């Protein structure tokens, strides 16, 4: 079950296309690269995939927080902020999709996958709140600080997950 706010149905998030990192149409390139990586013995495994997804999502959330802050400070236009949030959400969804496709072989890997999916869902929900706040823009709820708070919480969760993945 996705951890999404009421204003954004879960289906709206899950319906987005699966992708390699932030680039949905790059799947053939990914397949080719993955095949080559396997051939050259460079295949990583679950920990590496989770780590990559977490790093990419951390970068996306950090970007969104800067964009939101600049918007609140009157430094960024609504169009640019909206585009930043959209790009960030794509990045998180791509990470989530790559983790979802993993086939864990051990109990430890299953736990790692579940934890990663929970945190990435929280990130997607944070983005949804931020986008809803930007779209509302009438002083109602959620406000831009609410959006920033949701992203800050997601960022904390990502940091914890990063630490947990790193210690494995």
- List residues binding another protein (CB under 8 A): 21-26, 29, 33, 36-37, 40, 42, 52, 55-56, 58-59, 62-63, 66-67, 70, 74-80, 82-84, 87, 91
Could you tell me the smallest distance in angstroms from the CB atom of residue 107 to another protein? 28
CA distance 57 to 67: 15
What CA–CA distance (Å, rounded) separates 56 from 110?
A: 21
Closest approach of Cβ 49 to another protein, in Å? Answer: 11
The least CB distance from residue 16 to another protein, in Å, is 12
Q: Which two structure tokens, joined as six digits, stand for 119? A: 């945190």
What tokens appear for 135 in the block?
């779209």
> What is the nearest approach in angstroms of another protein to the Cβ of residue 1?
28
Q: Which is nearer to another protein, 77 or 108 (CB)?
A: 77
- Closer of 42 and 111 to another protein (Cβ): 42
Among candidate residues 22, 31, 30, 1, the one with its CA nearest the CA of residue 13: 1
Q: What is the dihedral of CA 2, 26, 157, 110, to 10 degrees?
A: 70
């Amino acid at each position: 079950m996705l951890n999404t706010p009421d204003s954004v149905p879960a289906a709206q998030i899950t319906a987005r296309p699966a992708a390699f990192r932030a680039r949905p149409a790059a799947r053939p390139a990914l397949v080719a690269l993955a095949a080559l990586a396997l051939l050259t013995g460079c295949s990583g495994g679950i920990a590496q995939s989770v780590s990559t997804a977490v790093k990419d999502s951390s970068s996306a959330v950090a970007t969104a927080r800067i964009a939101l802050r600049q918007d609140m400070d009157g430094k960024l236009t609504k169009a640019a902020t909206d585009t930043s949030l959209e790009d960030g959400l794509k990045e998180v969804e791509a990470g989530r999709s790559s983790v979802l496709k993993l086939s864990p072989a051990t109990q430890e890997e299953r736990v790692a996958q579940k934890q990663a999916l929970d945190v990435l869902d929280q990130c997607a929900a944070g983005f949804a709140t931020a986008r809803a706040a930007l779209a509302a823009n009438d002083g109602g709820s959620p406000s831009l600080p609410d959006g920033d708070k949701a992203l800050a919480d997601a960022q904390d969760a990502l940091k914890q997950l990063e630490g947990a993945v790193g210690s494995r």
